[in-house]
Amino acid sequence: MSQSQKNGLQNQHDTELARDITLKVRDLVIEFGSGKKKVKAVKGVTFDVYRGETFGLVGESGSGKTTIGRAVMGIQPVNKGAVYFNERLIYGEAPDLHKINLKLLRHLQTMVKNQSTTTNCLNDYLNEFKRVFYKYTQSKYYDFKTRELRAYPDGQSRLIAEGTNLKDTKLIRSKKDANLTIVTEAIRDNLKHLLKIIRLENKALKFSTAISNFTTVSLTLETEINESQKKVLGLIQQVKDLENEIYIIVDLMNDIRQQVLSGKHKSVIQYFEVMGRHLEQVIANHKSISPLLETALEEQIVALYLVAPIKQKQPFANEIKQRLTRAKHFKETENLENKRYEKVLETGKEDFVSQIKATETFKDPTKEETRELKKKMQMIFQDPGSSLNDRMAIEGIIAEGLDNFPELYKNPETCQTYLDWYNDNHNAEHQLTLDKVQPKDVKHFLILQLLTTIGMLPEHLSRYPHEFSGGQRQRIGIARALVMRPSFIVADEPISALDVSIRAQVMNLLAKFQKEFDLTYIFIAHDLSIVKFVANRIAVIYRGDIVELAEANELFDNPLHPYTKSLLSAIPLPDPKLEKAKIPFKYQPEIEHQDYLIDFPEWVEVGPNHYVYGNQREVKKYRQILASKIRKDQHEKVS
């Protein structure tokens, strides 16, 4: 199945479950610093959180999990990507096909320039290869400029006799000898650009294939946009395959050179024969890349014309018209490509950008909507000590949200609830009526009720944070979040700073409130053993990338990504003997993913609702592991 088909299925899945999704995070990027010191803390993270679930986000310190939680809450600015809450954009910006395609155009133009640079590098290497070949096989001097062979003026022979260990010759050591360093670096640079292009193209396709789910864009325009994006991606995939082959061959050539230096070659003819054959294949592949890049660049202009704002379409339209004019001038009859260009010019007159901006889902939230979000979304912070104001009494800390949103307690329903409680606890002589209910009493009642619910006493309201234990301070933090009656809570390592006995109490409280108030949680932690018991699904994050996502039991039963395995192996065992004998799994990304440069990683579903970040080699291995596990389980059931 192609990547575009997978993206389409994912979009369809998103649409079907849209009514159950509380939070969507799409291509989230968080950066710190600037210039050369810029650091990507979060690298294009995408996930959904379903209503009523606990979504676990697990990783070691510095992995970016807290940064994601803060970005979801609007505390941390979003550099790229978007966060949606209840199908509305709340932070970041919606996908902009025009900007994405402009980036693609710039990358393609850079690739075309790099192609010329690589051609020069290969020509230099080829000339040097010829010089060395003629020198040591025919004892002739090869002139680069005239391309002529002539004898050396000193009359001495430079021939290397067959059977001579090439290590003892100047074949490789000579300062003027050709080396592949420049060529290798040029190919490596091309592959890095290709990775960026493919990721951008996949991002564009993921959005363009789902346009009809959000807007009333005409089917003709949607079809043309998708066709153009897919055509560019297809051409770039062909370029990638050729560049991969070049990279592998050049790597082999470097290996041969290392073998010569280690004394493993004794035939100069065989050396030049093998190296020449490899070089010939490299040059042939390189020549095949140029027309593919030119065609991709032409098609990218078409894509830009289709998705550009009305005022910015004209330059792209002019280029398409010039191309059409040239084609008609040199061909007597119009071909299918010319007819397509004419159709594109007509279809592209539709204002695509305005229709996207008018879509309810992608509109920037108003001030009133942003204010409402603060009631619906709350956060429990990691450190209960530093997140509470030591100069405020507990009642003031919990009441702060109510003071900012008085409608939470100054409403008929809440007042009636207070009135019922008051009259139930007082005799007939002291009964109240609704018109005599004071807002400050209602507010105090809400705080008192919540304080009792979290297992604290009324006299605690007048005390200050430093007078409480860590567990009690964390309960106060929970009360401060719950008093707003939110539907969504980010719990940022709410138990990491607590004793083991207190952890169980806080986790039980969170589970209790989830049932009572129908809450949805993002539960952030670095300990997988704890998250297993509270989360419905778990996402494992490593250095800003989510590397694996699955249901909690599935992740523990069938961990696939090596980083997930390393986290699981770090969980201490209760038996001291077993713990002492245990051999932890060491995650070494430079070894595990050494082929990422030529086999790009993607986010792939390898099993039902089990997603892993890996390249084709890894995904194939992961699927084999799962298939083997299923066969083993079936065999055990039968026996």
Q: Residue 435: its pLDDT value, please?
A: 87
Residues 259 and 116 reside in one and the same domain = yes
Distance CA 611, CA 373 (A): 30
Domain boundary among 296, 326, 343: 296
**489 occurs within a structural domain:** no
Instruction: Show the tokens assigned to 541.
Output: 């994050």
**302 occurs within a structural domain:** no
pLDDT at residue 19 is higher than 70: no
Q: What is the CA radius of gyration of the chain?
A: 33
Residues 286 and 399 reside in one and the same domain = no
Residues 120 and 241 reside in one and the same domain = yes
Closest alpha carbon to 210 in 496, 417, 9, 467? 9
**145 occurs within a structural domain:** yes
**327 occurs within a structural domain:** no
Q: How many helices (H) and strands (E) does the chain have?
A: 21, 14
**219 occurs within a structural domain:** yes
**351 occurs within a structural domain:** no
Distance CA 279, CA 499 (A): 65
Contacts 24+ apart (CB under 8 A), 473-477: 473/384, 473/385, 473/388, 474/380, 474/384, 474/498, 474/502, 474/506, 475/506, 475/509, 476/384, 476/388, 476/394, 476/397, 476/398, 477/380, 477/381, 477/384, 477/387, 477/388
pTM: 0.85
Segments forming the whole domain that contains residue 112: 97-161+168-296
Between 604 and 339, the higher pLDDT residue = 604
Percent of the chain residues topping a pLDDT of 70:
94
Between 337 and 510, the higher pLDDT residue = 510
Domain boundary among 296, 329, 361: 296
**Residue 137: phi, psi to the nearest 5?**
-110, -25
Q: Residue 351: its pLDDT value, please?
A: 87
Percent of the chain residues topping a pLDDT of 90:
44
Residues 134 and 248 reside in one and the same domain = yes
- CA angle, 371 as apex, 369 and 377 as ends, to 5°? 95
Give the mean model confidence (pLDDT) for residues 456-479.
89
Q: What is the mean pLDDT of the chain?
A: 87
Question: Which tens digit of pLDDT belongs to each residue from 127-167?
Answer: 888 888 898 889 888 888 888 888 888 888 888 888 888 88
For residues 29 and 38, the answer to whether their CB atoms sit within 8 Å is: no
Question: Which tens digit of pLDDT belongs to each residue from 205-264?
Answer: 988 888 888 788 888 998 999 999 999 999 999 999 999 999 999 989 888 888 888 888
Residue with tokens 């670095």: 526
Residues 290 and 399 reside in one and the same domain = no
For residue 92, the one-letter residue type is G
Eight-state DSSP code of residue 410: S
Instruction: Show the tokens assigned to 422.
Output: 């008051």
Distance CA 405, CA 74 (A): 18
Total tally of structural domains belonging to the chain:
2
For residues 564 and 587, the answer to whether their CB atoms sit within 8 Å is: no
Closest alpha carbon to 225 in 83, 95, 89? 95
Domain boundary among 430, 463, 496: 463
Q: Residue 428: its pLDDT value, please?
A: 80
